[in-house]
Amino acid sequence: MKKLVISKLFLYRYRFVIGFIVLGTAYILILFGLPLLAPAGLSAAEMESATRSYAIHLDSPFHGDIVDLPYRALQKLSILLFGLNVYSVKLPSIIIGTTLGGLLILLLNRWFKSNVALLASILAVLSASFLYLAGSGTPLIMLVFWPTLLLWLGSKIQGVTKPKPLYCFIFAFALLASIFTPHLIYLAIFIVLFALLHPHLRFTIKTLPAFPLILTILIIITGLAALVMAAVINPDIISELLLASDFQFADFLPNIQSAMLPFFSWNSTLESPLLSPFIGLASVALAIIGLLSTTKGFFASRNSIATCLIIFTVLLSGFSPDCAILLLLPMAILIAHGLRYILGKWYDLFPDNPYARISAIFPIGLFLSIMIISGINHFIFGYRYIPMVADEYNNDITLISDYLTPDSTLYIIDDEISYNFFKILESETGLTVEDTIPEDPSHLPSVYATLEKQDIPGEVRQIITSPKSSDSDRIYMYIRQGV
């Protein structure tokens, strides 16, 4: 009988390729099904984002309206193509999230061995925190997308004998585009300083060919000049890009505290769209192991970048708590370090025993399965049923689309965000949206509705209920008296 050689089996030789294909397929399917999973509705931030996106025009850059322009252009295109609904608002983040997941997998596969990269990628892209980020219809995802893209491009340049000039140009354009995302101008400064101070990266810069290096510098200078011109035309973008609205330096430490609480608070009493704990306890434990393992050989760029990014993110969240979302990137890198350390220690115990080495598959597989399944359940059911989090979302757009006809009038009182958001429906569907009820009852339309109960004349024809409303009553349908 011919001896079975495991190393020659198809499944063994291509196990990592098959693993990454399965991971990518599962990730894409989950992402494009996110609006059907959780959270069931839109938050105020998503409605405000859609309103701002719909307001941009082709000449917006010439008027200095450049903040988050790529994301907002994609979101407006989505609304124009698919109408105003939950899916069209979230679709840009889903598309960018798909790209972000791919970049994170490529980055981890670049820095770590295939077995560590595959396991770390599974934990990263299928975590509750990553799914939330990819399913949020706001430009928040850009805070993680640009750094991940820059790190991956940097990994293609650093450590290579002859870096391709194309990667240098793309890196320069990505660095330039990132500064138009709020607060990421600090990241650009951090990356430049880190590259100049780190000995390995400084050596890489010195060895770059002169032409791509000079052209890269010119691209960055041109981008900074464009930013200055936009700031002169529209001075409001300065505070939007550098600081949060109404920021005061006395708020710096309280902002850090409020930013970190959803990540490491083991209860759900916080009134926040983030479901705490935003990062699971098992993931935190792996990241701590990874952090401790990087103390040896700290000055290697991939070891120090995660620690420096954590410190940078904590400081940045003092300006705006939203920036704390950037922690997902260094946490993914540290989790990979933790898995590499654990696997390395296990293999060191059995250097010559293949059966003992293979036996690690079962406990690791069980551990990963528990983390992934519990994380997805945490995401799906937490955003639906935990009151403090679920209350941040509403399904008003679905109710209005299902129950209000184009000849109806919707009155939205004392809710500027909802009014501006549903005003989009006037051009999309013909529905009339007003924020002031006529003083003369005879000026009321024959059929009208209000969000929540209002003291206005008319006969209530129907009350539309919503599971997202605290008292279930959400939309009141009226018929004008005498009609």
Note down pLDDT in tens along the chain; length 483 residues: 455 555 566 566 666 677 777 777 878 887 777 777 766 688 888 999 999 999 888 877 777 778 888 899 999 999 999 888 888 999 999 899 888 988 888 888 888 888 888 888 888 888 888 888 888 889 989 989 999 998 888 888 776 666 677 777 888 888 888 888 888 888 888 887 877 776 766 777 777 777 767 777 787 787 778 778 877 787 777 777 777 656 667 778 888 887 787 777 765 555 566 777 778 788 888 888 888 887 776 556 666 788 888 888 888 888 878 888 888 888 888 888 888 888 888 777 777 766 666 777 778 778 888 888 888 888 888 777 777 777 788 888 888 888 888 888 888 888 888 888 988 888 777 788 888 888 777 788 888 888 877 777 777 888 888 877 667 888 888 887 665
| pLDDT confidence of residue 3 | 57
Alpha-carbon span 140 to 97, nearest angstrom: 11
* Domain extent listing, the chain: 6-390, 395-479
| pLDDT confidence of residue 50 | 92
Using a 10 angstrom Cβ sphere, with 0-12 exposed, 13-18 middle and 19 or more buried, the burial of residue 470 is exposed
Alpha-carbon span 87 to 103, nearest angstrom: 24
Q: Express each pLDDT in 6-34 by its tens digit.
A: 556 656 666 667 777 777 787 888 777 77
Name the CA dihedral angle for 320, 316, 387, 97, rounded to a multiple of 10 degrees: 100
